[in-house]
Amino acid sequence: VSLLFVLGFTAVFVALGATATTFGRNLLQNSNTFQTVGGWLIIALGVFIAVTALWNPTILMPMMRERRVEVRPSRLGSWAPPVMGVAFGFGWTPCIGPTLASIRTVAEGMILLAAYGLGLGVPFVLFAIGIDKLYGALAWFRRNLKPITLVSGVLLALFGVLMITGQIVELNRWVQRVLPELPFNS
């Protein structure tokens, strides 16, 4: 069942990639402008998240609230997992848009998007297998929500600064130099 769900959202990623290649190329032509504007937006959101975590975290609660359309998968029968996967794919695409946009600009974009979707699906399959063990981790996150939110906001703002200053490439180079030296790469 979880595999059908994964195939559903993978189909969405492939379809979006097949129809958005031209749009992605146009974005690349204006990437510096989008990077600067995006950097300032990311800084603003990061500062907002960090400040509200310190002084009034309840302001964020309406934005963190889950919103759903009432769907009854039981009415779909055996079609429920792939249909729910398609719905998930459309709903989650904004969260992973930059990665998908960069993949769509490559000639082999559809194959890469299929691999990306299936790779993204592995955690869902593992989650379906080990959901009971996850509840303890969720309790820890709930207890530490304020410091996690504060650190996340600060890191988000710093990432925006890196975007504006064009230092993302330098950060990428540094990570590529450091990763081979880490002990788990032996």
Q: What is the pLDDT of residue 105?
A: 55
Q: Which two tokens stand for residue 177?
A: 């130099």
Q: What is the pLDDT of residue 167?
A: 87
For residue 163, count CB atoms less than 10 angstroms from its CB and return exposed for 0-12, middle for 13-18, buried for 19 or more.
buried
pLDDT in tens, the chain (186 residues): 788 888 887 888 777 777 777 677 777 787 788 888 888 998 988 888 888 888 776 666 676 677 766 767 777 788 888 888 878 776 765 566 655 556 555 555 667 677 777 777 887 788 777 776 777 778 888 888 889 889 998 999 998 898 889 888 888 888 888 877 766 655
Q: What is the pLDDT of residue 25?
A: 75
Q: What is the pLDDT of residue 151?
A: 92
* CA–CA gap between residue 108 and residue 67 (Å, rounded): 35
Q: Write phi, then psi, for 29 (nearest 5 degrees).
A: -65, -30
Q: What is the pLDDT of residue 184?
A: 62
Q: What is the pLDDT of residue 100?
A: 57
- Closest Cα partner for 16 from 96, 119, 120? 96
For 21-62, the DSSP string reads: HHHHHHHHHTHHHHHHHHHHHHHHHHHHHHHHHHH-GGGGHH
